Amino acid sequence: DSTNYINYNGRINIEIRGSSSQVKQKKQYGFTTYQADNITKDNVSLLGLPHENDWILNGLAFEPSLIRDYICYNLSRMIGEYASRTVFCEVMLNGSYNGLYVLQEKIKQGPDRVNVMNIETTNNTFPKITGGYVTKADKTAGSDVAAWTMSSHIGINDVAFIHVQPQPQTVTPQQNEYIKSEFIKLGKSAAVGDASFETGYPSVIDIPSFVDYMIISEISANADAYQFSTYYHKDRNGKLRAGPIWDNNLTFGYDLSIWGFDRSKTDTWQFSNGDNEGAAFWKDLFNNPEFRCCLSRRWNQLIQPGQPLNYSVIEPFIDQTVDKISEASVRDSIRWSYDRKEYIFKAEITKIENFLQLRIPWMTSAIGPSSNCSNVEIPPLVITRIMYSPTTSVSFPNANDQEFIEIKNTGNMTINLAGVYFSGTGFIYQFPPSARILPNSTKILASKMDVFRSKYGFAASGQFTRNLSSKGENLVLADGFGNVIDSVYYSSQPPWPDADSNGYYLELIDPLSDNNIATNWIASTNTLVSVEDVNNNPELKFYPTPVSGTLTIESSANINILQLFDFQGRRLRTINVNSGTYSLDMSSCSPGLYLIELITTDGNFVKKVIKD
């Protein structure tokens, strides 16, 4: 009696989905959960998956083992990338037994799916036009129309790029041109091997996500990877990221042999399989020494004993998965005997395991060495303060606008911050190419620079996009190749100090201590000061002080921009200087205290000046 197993009882709208799989008797389905009015979508949790309303019932078409998709999605999550969460289930449709399926999440924008911001049709100028986007390379059919195409290295099978978010029906010409231009920049820079942080492919893409996408696609030898069902996403002000993986049935040695295909091999790179090679930038990235070194290093880390892609870890996971569905697979085979009559379930599992035992050593040998990037010099940058859950007041009614983090240079040398960024999704910031941080100095990044200046009396060094989680999250500071400089997984729960909506922020007691240990932090209300105040920098001079007329400013570094604020944080003037000296006429200013912010090639500095 199926009513004994009801997990959700509500309204749905269900439809057949898929492209080539529609030739099969056993259909694939997509469905949306609705409230009782049949109009309002209902976010629900199904079989323990996070609340949402768009779902897939994967019928495992062209997949005799029944586990290839499931294995790949789980491996992707095991190495730290989001992939559709999956649960095996047996489906009764309108009272009829339909066999074994995988309930999984549809790829879409959302905090528990592809975590990028929503983009509206009115977001057609910077910075809002920069995200969020979800784009895929895929077959064109129905509403999935090609927004643009890119060529592969084999000169045939041009790759069609299709909008997912915004949808093809709602994307504006400006948005289409913007996200297309990001892929074009990637293609051009990868083609010439430009690996610079300022102009090369590291300035466009999040390299770790491309590396991980390639690793999962290649360990499984996915014959459709790069060409079809290949997703990308980009958050507002963020880098272009590869993934999530999708549609991994033609993997682990299995291909559409009924149509003459045999591409999923143990000794072939899928970006160079002579057919579905995808956009040329994939092969170009692999052939770039810097990218390939990152790929090799990551691969060799993941296959170590106890790591997710070590065969001794994968094999028991496969066996556990087989045990889980062994009974249901028999019922499925009986129900769809026409589709599976030529296959033996256990023999297919053996094929997968035998394939991996050959594939992993081949990749290890063919991927090349990682010696050139094994001992990367990491700058001494440390996340030292986190205001993740501010309190509100009459003067500052919006908590999110008051968030900030602080990064400290604990070394005795100036650090070039070109390429340094926060990797991952949900918290976005990348330092501009000209940014520097002086020895024993800090950079404070704020959620709203004008609010920060008004509250604390000096300018933050930059403004991040989106917000810090009030529950806790992993902040990863990385260089342009994704090498981790510092990471902190803070939490609002004990043993972390209580800094949740009570006026406190997290402060690292000793910048040289391990900032992932909760007891090394305190909940602090210490007054913030700009450690890069010019009083601590002998290479900047202001005179006379106090000033009654003209203030002379001299800097050893080029002053790009000068901004004058009153002590309430209101901006009075913005001046493009582009020189090492400037004479600021303050004769018309009322007597009192003023803040002068200098944006120089060595960083941002603030000076308090008294006007007589």
Task: Give the helix, strand, coil percentages of the chain, each rounded to 5.
Answer: 25, 30, 45
- The predicted pLDDT at position 594 comes to 83
Classify burial at 1, counting beta carbons within 10 Å of its beta carbon; exposed 0-12, middle 13-18, buried 19 or more. Answer: exposed
pLDDT over threshold 80, residue 47? yes
Nearest to 256 by CA among 269, 247, 246: 247
User: Rounded mean pLDDT of 28-42?
Assistant: 96
Check pLDDT > 70 for residue 599. yes
Q: Please report which confidence band the pLDDT of residue 16 belongs to, taking 50, 70 and 90 as the band edges.
A: very high
Out of 55-64, 469-478, 502-511, which region has the weakest mean confidence (pLDDT)? 55-64
Indicate the pLDDT class of residue 157, thresholds 50, 70 and 90.
Answer: confident
* DSSP assignments along 304-355, one per residue: STTSTTSHHHHHHHHHHHHHHHHHHHHHHHHHTHHHHTT--HHHHHHHHHHH
Q: Is the pLDDT of residue 439 over 50?
A: yes
pLDDT of residue 42 exceeding 50: yes
pLDDT at 530: 63
- Over residues 42-67, mean pLDDT: 94
Instruction: Return the closest-CA partner of residue 459 out of 476, 442, 475.
Output: 442
So what's the architecture of 128-373 in CATH? Answer: Orthogonal Bundle (1.10)
pLDDT tens digits, one per residue of 496-549: 999 999 999 999 999 999 999 999 999 998 877 665 544 445 578 999 989 999
What's the pLDDT tens digit per position in 301-352?
999 999 999 999 999 999 999 999 999 998 998 898 765 544 578 889 999 9
Give, in order, the Cα–Cα distances in Å from 252 to each of 1, 80, 83, 212, 245: 37, 21, 18, 17, 15
pLDDT of residue 330: 87
Residue 3's pLDDT band, with cuts at 50, 70 and 90, is low
Q: What is the C-alpha separation between 44 and 31, in angstroms, rounded?
A: 12
Residues 236/131, Cβ–Cβ less than 8 Å: yes
- Segments making up each domain of the chain, as ranges: 2-105, 128-373, 381-524, 534-611
Q: Using pLDDT thresholds of 50, 70 and 90, give the confidence band for residue 605.
A: confident
Mean pLDDT of 576-602: 88
Q: Mean pLDDT across the stretch 439-458?
A: 91
128-373 shares its CATH topology with 381-524: no
Q: What is the mean pLDDT of the chain?
A: 92
Nearest to 202, CA basis, from 27, 17, 535, 433: 433
Residue 227 clears pLDDT 60, i.e. is over it = yes
Q: State how far the alpha carbon of 604 is from the alpha carbons of 407, 442, 575, in Å.
A: 14, 10, 14
Give the pLDDT confidence of 80-96 residue by residue, as tens digits.
999 999 999 999 988 89
Separation CA 491–CA 494 (nearest Å)? 8
Average pLDDT over residues 277-286: 98
Dihedral (Cα; 339, 344, 348, 350), 10-degree rounding:
170
| Secondary structure of 96-107 as H, E, C letters | EEEEEEEEEECC
pLDDT above 70 covers what percent of the chain? 95
pLDDT tens figures, 387-423: 999 999 999 999 999 999 999 999 999 999 999 999 9
Please give the Cα distance from 226 to 367 (Å, whole number).
18
Taking the C-alpha atoms of residue 262 and residue 47, their distance in angstroms, rounded to an integer, is 36
CA dist 220 and 264 (Å) reads 8
Name the residue with tokens 């008051």: 402
Between the ranges 6-15, 224-233, 449-458, where is the mean pLDDT highest? 224-233
With b for 16 or more beta-carbon neighbours within 10 A and e for fewer, the 532-549 pattern comes to: bebeebeebebeeeebee
Parallel, antiparallel, or unpaired: how do β-strands 442-446 and 462-463 relate? parallel
Residue range 338-364, pLDDT digits in tens: 655 445 788 899 999 999 999 999 999
Mean pLDDT, residues 152-164: 92
User: Lowest-pLDDT range, 34-38, 73-77, 287-291, 599-603?
Assistant: 599-603
Class of domain 534-611: mainly beta
pLDDT tens digit sequence for 384-397:
999 999 999 999 99
Cα–Cα distance measured from residue 448 to residue 458, given in angstroms and rounded to the nearest whole number? 13
pLDDT, residue 388, reads 98
Domain 381-524 class, CATH top level: mainly beta
